[in-house]
Structure 1
Amino acid sequence: MITKKEQRLRRSRQTRLRIAQQRVARLTVFRSNLHIYASIVSDDGSQILASASTAEKEVRDQLGAAGKGGNAAAATIIGKRIAEKAKAAGVEKVAFDRSGFAYHGRVKALAEAAREAGLQF
Structure 2
Amino acid sequence: MIYFSSKTIEALQGYSPTERVAIIHRANQMMPFERKAFGNTLKVIILVALFWSVLYIPGTGWKLLAILLLGLLYRLAVLPVNLTLAVPYIPEAIRKHEQAKASGRDEPGQQDGGDSNHS
Query: Same-fold call, TM > 0.5?
Result: no
Larger fraction in strand: 1
TM-score (norm 2): 0.28
TM-score (norm 1): 0.28
Looking at both structures, which has the greater relative contact order when contacts are Cα pairs under 8 Å and sequence separation is at least 6? 2
Larger fraction in helix: 2
Q: Which has the larger radius of gyration?
A: 2
